[in-house]
Amino acid sequence: MSDYTPPVRDMAFVLDTIVGIDSITALPAYDHVDPEIVEGLLDEAGRFFGEVFAPTNRVGDEVGATFADGAVTTPDAFKPVWNKLRESGWTAVTGSPEFGGHGFPKAIGASISEMMTAANIAFSLAPMLTGSAISLLQSHGSDEQRDRYLEKLVSCEWTGTMVLTEPEAGSDVGALRTKAVPNDDGTWSISGTKIFITWGDHDLADNIIHLVLARTPGAPAGTKGISMFIVPKYLVNDDGSIGERNSVETVSIEHKLGIHGSPTCVLSFNDATGYLVGEENRGMRYMFTMMNQARLEVGLEGLAIADRAYQRAAAFAKVRRQGTSPGSDEPSAIIDHADVRRMLMTMKAYTEAMRALIYDAMASEDRKAHAISEAEREAASDRMALLTPIAKAWCTDRGVEVASIGIQVHGGMGFIEETGAAQYYRDARIMPIYEGTNGIQAIDLVMRKLPMGDGAVVADFLDEIGSLDAELAANPDLADIRVALSEALSVVRKTTDFINALESPSDRMAGATPYLEMFGTLCGGYYLARQAVVAHKGADDDPWMAAKVATARFYATNLLDKVHGLAGAATSGDSLLYAIDDDLMGASR
């Protein structure tokens, strides 16, 4: 049995109140999508991922992927569920109809992805990375490459990977050494070793399409000399059938803290046949098409793991009896204790705030691609660029925090593997590292995103938050939200102006991580406040709506104040970070 129930009503509520899904489905690109069927679609997806996909989570953790004789084997339970996933078409919801997809907006796809990820994060990484490969090939592949690979990738008959990291080239991708040498027939011979390749080998799909970064002869040093290549596990014949095995060897898989069901591979390319994507030396530009989508998906992983941990903790708190609550003579369910209630409300508030942030960012991708006017597309592009590092870093940090709180709710039983709470914490810990560590996201925010439009992009977003004040002021019941949001906004405005005025890059970067946490915390309060304005109208007659209001008020009074405490760290500069000599860091006499 699964212990995960997809929160379909909240997903639909966010799509309505935050995303404005009707305005997206009204765009010409989505004229085939009936907005009336969205809730029914989510209900059906919720049944599949709750009842079919989620039960694989525990076995994936306990059995894990295994490696022997150069091949990876996934848990026995994965194969039939993978086939059902493909047959159901859930992986093709946002795929292009030209290549067999259903052509739904990314914002709706976010809900499906959340369900799949919460159901089994390790398993979900295979279709997630395949989706990123699809985005890259759609944007930068040739017509021949799109025709050859996309239909099989959209259906997940084949899967895709992102092959960047090498032993000496992690976050510093420009240090990679993998070589690409041209062949007489227009193909390339790819040679090198890549590490940390998620789902780099497995036994679920008929083929694996690796998207590999490599250097061509005479390429410039650093990131300017990187090219992108398609390197299939099996070569593909002209008629689309699978041909001979390519010279790609799986050397080993990693033994990891979590996500045991996801094989993380070391791959060796030995004069493997590859196909250039686009132009030489533009691979990093192409890779960011894939990586930026992956960053939003990783942020969504933080949301998904938080919701899974929250649901388990709440269920446990309702049945675990210990101590007596005030006014009771009998042992009480621990959910009746104030401190446990505080922990559960924190988990709930962060989870619902993350959902709104992620969905809004993904909706920006829809508008960036398909809005009618150029001005609307540019505004959506700017919004997506601003929100991506925040969504990735803030949501994954909160995912780890919420999973940790979930263990605390369980008490000593949370530290025991059999309850399952520990798995969420172990699985969550990779997320702040994935797709550019959260420190890199924070640096991206302060160095690249805050200066966009000479500061106008971030200023416009903060003005948008400020514009909610009038609606909050019209409702005395939301006064505590209004005050807390206004005060937090003021602090973030001042801190943003201070950082944008700094001349020293090192001083800016020194405060980047606390600044990103400030900004993300403000975003969470803003999105929940918007939902509270809508939910309050039905709160008298609907306990679910009343809970939305209470959650927003809890966030405003218990969590939003963190913004104030982070301002000093965000603006203090780098002097104290370098005040101690390297020799005095760590063990010293």
Catalytic annotation, residues: 435
Contact yes or no for 289/135 (Cβ under 8 A): yes
Contact yes or no for 546/534 (Cβ under 8 A): no
Question: What is the torsion angle, in degrees rounded to the nearest 10, for the CA atoms of residue 154, residue 156, residue 157 and residue 162?
Answer: 100
Tokens, residue 488: 């937090």
């030396």: which residue's tokens? 281
Contact yes or no for 394/444 (Cβ under 8 A): no
Contact yes or no for 238/292 (Cβ under 8 A): no
Tokens, residue 391: 């969504």
**d(C-alpha 178, C-alpha 190), whole Å:** 7
Contact yes or no for 193/267 (Cβ under 8 A): yes
Contact yes or no for 357/527 (Cβ under 8 A): yes
Contacts of 140 (CB under 8 A, 6+ apart): 228, 277, 278, 286, 289
3-state secondary structure of 80: helix
**d(C-alpha 135, C-alpha 362), whole Å:** 14
Tokens, residue 7: 């929160």
Tokens, residue 195: 């590490």
Q: What is the DSSP letter of 94?
A: T
Contacts of 2 (CB under 8 A, 6+ apart): 50, 51, 54, 55, 57, 119
Vertex 197: Cα angle to 55 and 150 (nearest 5):
80
């894990």: which residue's tokens? 64
